[in-house]
Amino acid sequence: MEIVKRNGLEFLTSDKIDAIHGFTLRHGGVSQGDFSSLNMGLRRGDNPFNAIKNIEKCADALMLDKEKLTLTYQLHTAKVHFLTPEDIGKGFCREWGEGVDGIVTDMKNVPLLCYSADCVPTLLYDKKRGMIGAVHGGWRGTKDNIIANAVDVMIEHGAKVEDICAFIGPAIGICCYEVSEDVGEQFAGEYESLVIKKDNGKYMLDLKSITASQLMEKGVLRENIENCCICTSCRNDMFFSHRAQKGRSGLLGGFIQMI
Ligand SMILES: [Zn+2]
């Protein structure tokens, strides 16, 4: 994992992903206040024109085909959609009309973008088949195993599980992600080592490692997975954090495109 600079913007990248990709940091955008400054969220209370400007700025810096930018429409579903040419531009220029928290494509020059602030953004790539994915998983999507759905969609379209590489991006860590007893118990049985029960009955959850564990359960190789060690809440100076900013924050973006 390393931070690379492109046109004055910083992106977190992984050598596991051999396509154009990167997770955005907070700085270098045009948004103000709580959204300062590189907010990718179009529906977070920021001026949407600023968010659009930020997204286009990132697309330019990464030399992506911004006319074809296609975004998830994240409603905490576990739905993953394999893009058809008719879907190009959805989530950005056009509406999806329903929640699609994960998108996968084998089309070249079609940049994908998922976004988050504490939830887990994951980029997927099968270089041999030529297929990429961008997936958002909060606790609901992770409980419903959206990442396994994404792997299934890739396999259905010809990817091989042993060729799939994953970069799990910056998200809230077990250090800061306290959830209610009700939520914690939904993970405690299956992911015992990635959940800590506190004396007050609440739980601390390691959503990123649960995502990595779900990928490995599907057969993705451990050596093909990079799990970002940075906690967005601890490092609110670098990344937006919904929790650290008490619900008023921008969103980071996870971009990926094949050429
Ligand atoms: Zn933390």
Q: Residues lining ligand 1 (ion), CB within 5 A?
A: 173, 175-176, 231, 233-234
Render pLDDT for 91-125 as a digit per residue (tens, 0 to 9). 999 999 999 999 999 999 999 999 999 999 999 99
What pLDDT, on the 0 to 100 scale, is given for residue 104? Answer: 99
Share of the chain above pLDDT 90, in %: 100
Q: How far is the CA of 176 from the centre of ligand 1 (A)?
A: 4
Render pLDDT for 130-168 as a digit per residue (tens, 0 to 9). 999 999 999 999 999 999 999 999 999 999 999 999 999
Q: How far is the CA of 140 from the centre of ligand 1 (A)?
A: 20
Q: How far is the CA of 187 from the centre of ligand 1 (A)?
A: 19
Q: How far is the CA of 235 from the centre of ligand 1 (A)?
A: 7
Cα 250 to chain centroid, rounded: 14
Q: What is the mean pLDDT of the chain?
A: 98
Among 3.60.140.10, 3.20.20.70, 3.40.50.20, 2.60.40.10, name the CATH number for the domain at 2-172+208-257.
Answer: 3.60.140.10
Q: What pTM, to 2 d.p., does this model score? A: 0.98
Render pLDDT for 180-214 as a digit per residue (tens, 0 to 9). 999 999 999 999 999 999 999 999 999 999 999 99
